[in-house]
Amino acid sequence: MTASEILKELESYGNEQTKKVLLKHGAKEPFFGVSVADLKKILKKTKKNHELSLELYNSGNSDAMYLAGLMADEKKITEAQLDQWADKAYWYYLSEYAVPFVAAETDFGFDLGKKWIKSDLERIASAGWATLSNIPRVKQDDDLDIEAYSSLLNIVEKNIHSSPNRVRYAMNGFVIAVGSYIKDLTAKSIKIASKIGKVEVYMGDTSCKVPLAKDYIQKVIDMGKVGNKRQSARC
């Protein structure tokens, strides 16, 4: 399939109700309002396709950009290309999901995430924390820098309540991810989550709520799923 053919198929999957919901969350034109389930119908045809993913992301269409994140080849995409993607991710559907999903699966994702969290731009910094959150979901603890993750928890504890809106959300998610997926840091994550408490994030005209990190991690513990890894960060 070509990028033009995919855009036409995306248009055919467009749904006005989905579009209304995404607009409330911050999406902007151009986009059709395509569900992830329908995006994955196209993905079944294309599989991973590096060049096509770059074309789709550069289209500026939010549906196509998210599909590009699902389609990207983590072995071929470069750090420079992901830097460009993060810069073009104009709302959190892209900056905290599509782009970090790919970055977390690359060999340079951890360094990229650490670089992004230092950015003064909210969308870049939130992409960094989301990337760092996704890495322990897919990589074994032996392949992680546990000491570095412990230090990052300290940064969150100190700065979360004074950080920009979406960065606060991503930081809260980071504490949850570390506590849920890195066994050696579960206890510390709960301790820090208790100190952090409720995190205030403006969620726009939606009913979405910010999960309480301590309670979320405790549920994972109660289910006996701490440290259970995923095959892919993407969903």
Write down the domain spans for the chain.
109-235
If one counts every other C-beta atom within 10 angstroms of the C-beta of residue 80, the result is: 8
- Confidence (pLDDT) at 148: 98
Q: Is 59 helix (H, G, I), strand (E, B) or coil?
A: coil
Where residue 93 falls among pLDDT bands split at 50, 70, 90? very high
Q: Does residue 100 have a cis peptide bond before it, meaning omega lies within 30 degrees of 0?
A: no
> For residue 29, which of 114, 98, 84, 90 has the smallest C-alpha distance?
90
CB 48 within 8 A of CB 72: yes
Where residue 199 falls among pLDDT bands split at 50, 70, 90? very high
Where residue 204 falls among pLDDT bands split at 50, 70, 90? confident
Average pLDDT, the chain: 97
Interval 98-120 mean pLDDT: 98
- Confidence (pLDDT) at 205: 85
> For residue 217, which of 179, 182, 191 has the smallest C-alpha distance?
179
